[in-house]
Structure 1
Amino acid sequence: MKALVLSGGSGTRLRPITHTSAKQLVPVGNKPVLFYGLEAIAEAGITEVGIVVGETAAEIERAVGDGSRFGLRVTYLRQEAPLGLAHGVLIAREFLGEDDFLLFLGDNFIVGGVSGVVSGFRADPCDARLLLTQVPDPSRFGVAELGPDGRIIGIEEKPRRPRSDLALVGVYLFGPAVHRAVRAIAPSARGELEISDAIQWLLDEGLDVRSTTITGYWKDTGDVDDMLEANRTVLEGLEHKVEGDVDADTEIIGRVRIAAGAIVKGSRIVGPAIIGADARIVGSYVGPFTSIADGVRLEDSEIEYSIVLDGSSIQGVRPIEASLVGRAVEVTPAARTRAAHRLVLGDYSRVRIS
């Protein structure tokens, strides 16, 4: 079995971060979200991986390399434009051959990995197996409709009136029949080859399409709120470890990881939180569910439930929360502006101004 990882999307919902960085490389818990997927693939016993890349190809190739750090052999497949998930399968035809394969979206985050579902597919193959999960807002996703016997009878992409609350998770298992499906379908109204249309083609042809409903944590880290939520989930499993230089005037509460080379002075850090290598935290408060990346400078500031990327500087700003700060950003206080009250008061008035 092979794996196909789709990492060619432009990440419009994460702009402006993704104007200069691949969305799959935005970190949660100080590790790119793509790396969690690659680790899960390796844990499932798959070693041959094709990564579909687009305009951020160079950045992804620098980060992942040949895949050996993950125990993988990686082949890069160039997608000239983000033309849909099924288009990613279409251009990977030569790489995939007639092998069964795992299709994994590079910006998806699944707690617990995919080893179980991969093992099940190997033991009992079918033409397609989909991972589903219940969501409160199914109109944002591809949605599966199940029949009375629990088998899939229909798939619809981002329906206005969903027929169920079961969304397609960004993990699919396919046999070679899907190659006929992606060649047979036409672009959708938004000009993309939809994987949901390919799955519907398999259903219409009477092929064997099955599903597994997962109850564990899953996130499509496509926007800031989802990134912060995924970061929170990762940090909940953090182990306490302090390798950096922390002075006696600093208070550390709960599970906090401080990397070697980091310096913390006169600050209060409440976990779960992670501080990257060579970061410098002085006279500041770092609250729960915060990831501070390598080389960040935080002075006289307060921050919690946030992600700060490499090399950024925050000085004299408080409080910051629920924020995603990109690389090499400088955040400082604005110049003080003159404030004045304009009053029109009648005789004998009494006014109290705080």
Structure 2
Amino acid sequence: MKAMMLCAGIGERMRPLTGHTPKPLLRVADVPLMEYHLRGLARAGFREVVVNVSHLAGQIEHYCGDGSRWGMAITWSREEEPLETAGGIQRALPLLGTDPFLVINGDVWIDYAFDTLRRYTLKPWEQAHLVLVDNPPQHPLGDFCLGEAGEVCYRAEREAGLTYAGLGLYTPAFFTGMRPGKLALRPLLDAAIARGTLGAEHYRGDWEDVGTPQRLEALDARIRSGAEQ
């Protein structure tokens, strides 16, 4: 199985930090966010990773090289301008092959064991399988609800659901019919819910949306504190 890491975004909410450093290379306990993912993917047995890049792409490519220091091969999907999540994945489909593939946002923190998704067998009705987490304070109602059979469904207007972690397993068929170009992932997720082809699991481990300099600073302090214990 291949994996894809999404690293093309500009990181507007992280300015001024992302004015000179791409968000996936911002550090937590002296390690770039994306390197935690690369280490985890290598431990899980992933040997081929596609990374999309755009904003300050040269810094990311220079840091990662060909991926050999993590025991993997990195292939680059370059975007002249960021194509957003779905657009970036669709652009990279020729590099990802015909089998299901893991997708992880390069700018989140999570201690999920990626081999769980590598070993997961999609249900016959699933075209994608998301990892959902408990809602963070800045997103108290979450994104979706999770049904008893593992199906993703809409939450009621004032009902608290769960939050998409920026991690999932996708099939190429999930992107069938999508026109090339800039597109967020949410419209495709909504369409999959309507078709009944979107599944998920609830992960209760450590996850952070590192969306602002303040959250990055707080995560850095927390991880450093835990490492010193």
What's the TM-score bracket when you normalise by the shorter of the two chains?
0.7 to 0.9
Alignment of 1:58-137 (within 5 A): 58-119=58-119, 121-122=120-121, 126-137=126-137
> Hey, what does 1:299 align to over in structure 2?
none
The answer on 1:214 being equivalent to 2:203 is yes
What amino acid is the match of 2:187?
A: D
| CA shift for structure 1 position 235 | 1.8
> 8 Å contact 2:4–2:50 — kept in the other structure?
yes
> 8 Å contact 1:33–1:106 — kept in the other structure?
yes
> Hey, what does 1:285 align to over in structure 2?
none
> Hey, what does 1:198 align to over in structure 2?
188
- Listed as ranges, the gaps of 5+ residues in structure 1 are 239-254, 256-271, 273-354
> 8 Å contact 2:38–2:70 — kept in the other structure?
yes
Change in CA separation of 1:140 and 1:4 when aligned onto 2, cut-off 3 Å: farther
Q: TM-score normalised to the size of structure 2?
A: 0.88
- d(CA) in 2 for partners of 1:62 and 1:10? 18
Over the matched positions of the two proteins, sequence identity in percent amounts to: 30
> Hey, what does 2:215 align to over in structure 1?
226
Structure with more of its chain in helix, by fraction: 2
> Hey, what does 2:44 align to over in structure 1?
44
Alignment of 1:1-354 (within 5 A): 1-119=1-119, 121-122=120-121, 126-137=126-137, 139=139, 143-147=143-147, 151-154=151-154, 161=157, 163-180=159-176, 183=178, 193-207=183-197, 209-238=198-227, 255=228
Structure with more of its chain in strand, by fraction: 1
> Hey, what does 1:327 align to over in structure 2?
none
Q: Which range is displaced more, 128-137 or 212-221?
A: 128-137
What amino acid is the match of 1:199?
A: L
Q: Deviations over 1:121-161 (max 9, x none)?
A: 24867421111111144648970133465531238xxx9x5
SS in structure 1 of the partner of residue 154 of structure 2: strand
The RMSD of aligned alpha carbons is: 2.6
Q: Deviations over 1:185-210 (max 9, x none)?
A: 9x9xxxx5221221222232333x21
Q: Which of these two proteins has the greater Rg computed from alpha carbons?
A: 1
- d(CA) in 2 for partners of 1:46 and 1:124? 22
- d(CA) in 1 for partners of 2:223 and 2:103? 23
> 8 Å contact 1:10–1:82 — kept in the other structure?
yes
- d(CA) in 2 for partners of 1:45 and 1:233? 28
- Listed as ranges, the gaps of 5+ residues in structure 2 are none
Change in CA separation of 1:150 and 1:97 when aligned onto 2, cut-off 3 Å: closer
Looking at both structures, which has the greater relative contact order when contacts are Cα pairs under 8 Å and sequence separation is at least 6? 2
Q: Deviations over 1:19-50 (max 9, x none)?
A: 11111111111111110011111122111111
Q: Deviations over 1:270-301 (max 9, x none)?
A: xx6xxxxxxxxxxxxxxxxxxxxxxxxxxxxx
